[in-house]
């Protein structure tokens, strides 16, 4: 059956996207490190891959129009943080790297603190710290 899941994401400029995510502290899978056609963005301790493809390449295998991220949201990627401070640090890195923060860090209920940002291509990301000690009291 299924062994892995890859998420494929179109980007306007692969090198700029790689620089953006590297500035946020993310790493890339070495399998694609010399490729001009793709990059494997590594997420989390389980090394989930989000494959970044130039828009033309992405569209060639989807055979469909790309979503206009200025007009709508096709997906929200949610990543966890180990602390409130890590949320704040990531948001600052997003701003410095040229991303857009659409939801400044704030409380999202008991034990939850997070923020939302868009990358250089308008794809939306959510970063959330969950204090399970406070959440489990509910």
User: How many domains does the structure of the chain reveal?
Assistant: 2
Q: For the segment 105-128, what is each residue's pLDDT rounded down to a tens digit?
A: 999 888 899 999 999 999 999 999
Regarding whether 45 and 1 lie in a shared domain, the answer is yes
pLDDT of residue 136 exceeding 70: no
Regarding whether 106 and 83 lie in a shared domain, the answer is yes
Regarding whether 129 and 91 lie in a shared domain, the answer is yes
The domain that contains 57 carries what CATH number? Answer: 3.10.180.10
pLDDT of residue 135 exceeding 90: no
Average pLDDT over residues 87-105: 98
Torsion of CA 45, 13, 123, 34, to 10 degrees: -20
Helix (H) or strand (E) holding 93: helix 84-97
pLDDT of residue 138 exceeding 90: no
pLDDT of residue 4 exceeding 90: no
Domain that holds residue 44: 1-62
Q: For the segment 33-91, what is each residue's pLDDT rounded down to a tens digit?
A: 889 999 999 998 888 899 999 999 999 999 989 999 999 998 999 999 999 999 999 99
Whole-prediction pTM: 0.89
User: Quick one: which of 64, 79, 49, 73 has its CA closest to 121?
Assistant: 73
Average pLDDT over residues 80-103: 97
Under 8 Å between Cβ of 70 and 48: no
Q: For the segment 26-40, what is each residue's pLDDT rounded down to a tens digit?
A: 999 999 988 999 999
């Amino acid at each position: 059956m299924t062994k892995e899941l890859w998420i494929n994401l179109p980007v306007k400029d692969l090198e700029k996207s790689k620089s953006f995510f590297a500035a946020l502290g993310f790493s890339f899978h070495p399998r694609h490190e010399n490729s001009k056609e793709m990059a494997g963005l590594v997420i989390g301790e389980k090394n989930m891959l989000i494959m970044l493809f130039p828009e033309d390449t992405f569209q060639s295998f989807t055979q469909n129009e790309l979503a206009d991220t200025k007009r709508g949201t096709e997906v929200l990627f949610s990543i966890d943080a180990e602390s409130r401070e890590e949320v704040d640090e990531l948001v600052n890195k997003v701003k410095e790297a040229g991303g857009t923060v659409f939801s400044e860090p704030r409380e999202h209920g008991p034990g939850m603190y997070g923020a939302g940002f868009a990358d250089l291509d308008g794809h939306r990301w959510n970063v959330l710290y969950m204090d399970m000690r406070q959440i489990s009291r509910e």
